[in-house]
Each structure stands twice: as C-alpha cells, then as structure tokens.
Amino acid sequence: MIAKIKEHYMTICIWGVVVFFTGLYLSLLFNHNIWTDEAFTLQLLRGGFKDIIAGTAADVHPPLYYLYAKIFALVFGEALVVQKIAAIIPMSATLIFLAVVVRKHFGDIAAFLTLLFLTCIPCTMEFAVQVRMYSLALFCVTVCGVYAYLAFQNGKISEFVVLALSGAAAAYTHYFAFVSVIVIVGLLFLAIMIWKREKIRILKWVFSVVGMVVLYLPWMPFFIKQVTSVEQGYWIPEITAEVIWSYFTWTFDLELVPGMVFIFLIILKGASTYNTIRISKGQAEKEIFALVCMLVPTLTVILGVVASWLKTPIYRDQYVLPALGFLALFFGISMRNAKKWILAVITVFLLFVGAVQYKECFRQEYRSTYVPQTEAFFEANLTPNDYVIYNWETFGFIYECYFPAEQLEYVERFDFSKDFDNVWFLHTEWQPEVDENVLAANGLTMDVIGHFGIEHNEFDIYRIYRE
C-alpha cells in the first residue's frame, strides 16, 4: 500500500488540489450574502431567455453566463446556493482541465504548481463563488489558450475547432476575456509565421478566426451599442498610477498580511529568470510557451489601460481574472525543474496564502448581517395587499431580489391614496423621507418597527397603515 502511494504520490497531490479546493469553494456557499453585481445577476435570472438577452444588451456584458445560469436554475431551482454552485462548476472544470492537460504535456510538477498557484492566489478564491461570469470566462480563456498551444504543436483540425469554439464562448462571456482571446490568437499567428511557416496551418488559423467571427455576428449589434453607451459615460474611475498598482494588489495582496504582493512579484521575477536561463541553455520550446503565457494577462492589462487612457475608462482590476490561468501556467511550467527544496518552500508559501485568504473569504461570506432577520420578518408579515417602499433608489434592483416586483416601489413614486393593508417603508437616513402631509391627507399612520438590513444596506422599517 505504502509502495503504491509513493509510486503515485504526484497523482494524489494533483487531484488532491482539485478535490480539496473544490471542497473549500463549496464550504463558502451556505450564506445569505451577495453584493451588488450578484444581485443584478439574480434579478436578471428571474426573467425568461428573451428577458435575459434584452437585459444583458442594456448592460455592459455579453450574455453567455446568464444563459448558462438560467438553464442551471431551470434544472436545479433558483435558490441562491444553487446559483453559487453554478458559479463554482466552471472554476472546478478549469482545475480538472489543467490537471489533465498540463500533466500530459508538461509533467506532474508543472501541473501541481499550476493548480496550486491558481487556487491560492487571493483573487481567485474570492471570485470563485461569486454569482458572476468570471469563473466561466476563466475556463473559456484557459481552454482557448491551451488549445492554441496544441494547434501550434500538432496542427490538427480538431484543435483549431476547439480554439474557435472556446474563443467565441469567451467573447460571449466577458469582453476582456475577448481581449485575452485576441491576444492568444495574435500570438499564435506570430508563432506559426516564425516557427512553422506552413501554408496549411496558416489556412487553419484563418478558418478558426473566421469561425469565431461568424459565431459572434449575432451579438455584434448589441456589442456596438454597448461600446457606444460606454463612450458616452461610464462609472469606472480614470486610470492613475494608484489604479495601475491596484491591479497587482487586487491579484496578490492579503488583507490580513499586508505587503504579500511584493513576495509574489519576487517569486514571479525568480520564475522568469529561471525560465530565461533554461532558454539560454537550449531548452527552448516549453520555456518560450511559458513566456507567452505571461504575455496573455500582461497584454490584456496593457490593452485595457491604453484603451482607458485614449477613450473612456473601461478597465477594472478584476477584468484580468479570465487570463490568470496563464499566469499560473507560466509559473508552473517555468518552475517544474526547480530544486526540491525550492519547490517545498513555494508549496508551503502558497498553502499559507491560500489558508489566510480562505479565512478572509469565510469571514466575508459568513459575516453577520440583518438579512436572516429581514427575510424572517417579511415572511411573517408581508401579505398580498401590502407594499414595500424604499428611499435608496440605487439599491432598488437589489431589493427586487428579496421582494415581489409588483409589491415594490420607490418612495417618491408611490401613490399613498390607493388601497393597501400595510406599506413597509425601508428607511435609510440620508435619502428622501415620506411626506408627512401626504400621510395626513390620506389618513395614514406611520410607526417604527425596528432596525433591519439587506446586504451592506441597513435601514429602519416603518409600518404605514390606516387606523
């Protein structure tokens, strides 16, 4: 038994990472906490497929994740925990894909380091369980990039087909995943032209790109409309030196251990140096691919920053997440032949980072809020002839995740003269009040019930009724 374990210990380690971290993601699901963008997702999923397309077209993201989540909801239900599971599945699929492919083409150590790096860097654990499109975008971009490498190596039609399908899927998931795909496809073309110089392979590349474009044509009018609306004004702040630095801190820093970003940058610099030395010794092919992997997230960020400088600010730190599989690949491939003591130190360090970040994610996901009390109150008191009104207008779409749309309205648009049993007023202190003269004119009384809240928004609930 012990002999078999020793023989297959790397297999156990690789799949242990996949199973263990999937288990950690699952442990973060059972809570009531969501943030603004997740609330938008949940609200969108309440409609049918046509509503999702229309709602997405009016937003700034493509629709694939929402369609996937809707199908998942139709099969397994609309509960919040179900939607969080739907978000985790592409993340775990990414780990499984990397475990299989990297191990096959680059060896056990490369696969183990790639998986450990991807799962332990702070940002991936935070976003793995969020009801947003980032985990799906990560999966699509990672598959696209790996199959670009295989297409370069082997030139099989099937590899170019997967390249086209995964690239199109990435473009339908997130626009900066689309940017990463453009980088991947461009680098593949350069590699073919420099090293292969085969007309048939160039032709296959052309057909794969044309295939992506054809697959994307149905969404192109909506894409153009979204780009136009962003150019007219967007909420993302202007690019500054501080904002650029935040891309590194968002990816690598730990709130509980400040300055971790510098250690990660030193590690990546060391990996780059080690990789470059091996290239100089003639071990070029896989090491050059490692450097190409580093280029994908780097160029994605650069293109986002440049576009934000030249036009309208459109780039946020989290938009690099779909390309972070390549940062992990760069690290894993570059360090696969490092000395055992170096690998041991790196493994311990990454596990430490992962443990600290998990603690922080657990705290965030299970932080104490008023959501359970609020849900319990309205479950016991909200009747079909009641209304819920609120005075924080920008939070309205989040309230729609918790209350029936036909019973929910902004305070300044509510008609107090109509028939109702009770109006429950969600009162935040810095927003419009209920006009006391209007209450008096309609014979209404308003009593305070208590302090409640939804997500990070706390409020007092008032009951408005006729004596």
Instruction: Report the mean per-residue pLDDT for the chain.
Output: 88
Distance CA 343, CA 337 (A): 9
Q: Can you give the pLDDT at residue 357?
A: 92
Q: Can you give the pLDDT at residue 114?
A: 97
> What residue ranges do the domains of the chain occupy?
2-365, 371-466
> SS3 for 465?
strand
57: confidence class by pLDDT, cuts 50, 70, 90: confident
236: confidence class by pLDDT, cuts 50, 70, 90: low
* pLDDT greater than 90 at residue 74: yes
* pLDDT greater than 70 at residue 228: yes
The pTM score is 0.89
Cβ partners under 8 Å of residue 417, min gap 6: 442
* pLDDT greater than 70 at residue 233: no
Please list the alpha-helical segments (H only) found in 107-240: 108-120, 122-128, 134-154, 157-171, 175-191, 199-216, 220-231
Distance CA 4, CA 9 (A): 8
* pLDDT greater than 80 at residue 456: no
> SS3 for 247?
helix
455: confidence class by pLDDT, cuts 50, 70, 90: confident
Distance CA 104, CA 107 (A): 6
115: confidence class by pLDDT, cuts 50, 70, 90: very high
Is pLDDT larger for residue 170 or for residue 227? Answer: 170
Q: Angle 108-120/340-365 helices, nearest 10 degrees?
A: 30
Q: Can you give the pLDDT at residue 241?
A: 74
CB atoms within 10 A of CB 273: 11
282: confidence class by pLDDT, cuts 50, 70, 90: low
**Above pLDDT 90, what percent of the chain?**
57
> For residue 55, how many C-alpha atoms fall within 13 Å in the half-sphere facing its CB?
18
40: confidence class by pLDDT, cuts 50, 70, 90: confident
The string of pLDDT tens digits covering residues 327-367 is: 999 999 999 988 999 999 999 999 999 999 999 888 888 87
Q: Can you give the pLDDT at residue 88?
A: 94
Q: Can you give the pLDDT at residue 2?
A: 58
Over residues 57-75, the mean pLDDT reads 91
Buried b (16+ CB within 10 A) or exposed e, 402-432: bbeeebbbebeebebeeebebbbbbbeeebe
Q: Can you give the pLDDT at residue 63?
A: 93
Distances (CA, A) of 260 to 82, 273, 301, 350, 428: 33, 20, 21, 11, 38
Distance CA 300, CA 323 (A): 8
Q: Can you give the pLDDT at residue 134?
A: 94
The string of pLDDT tens digits covering residues 374-426 is: 999 999 999 999 999 999 887 887 888 889 889 999 999 999 999 999 999 99
* pLDDT greater than 60 at residue 452: yes
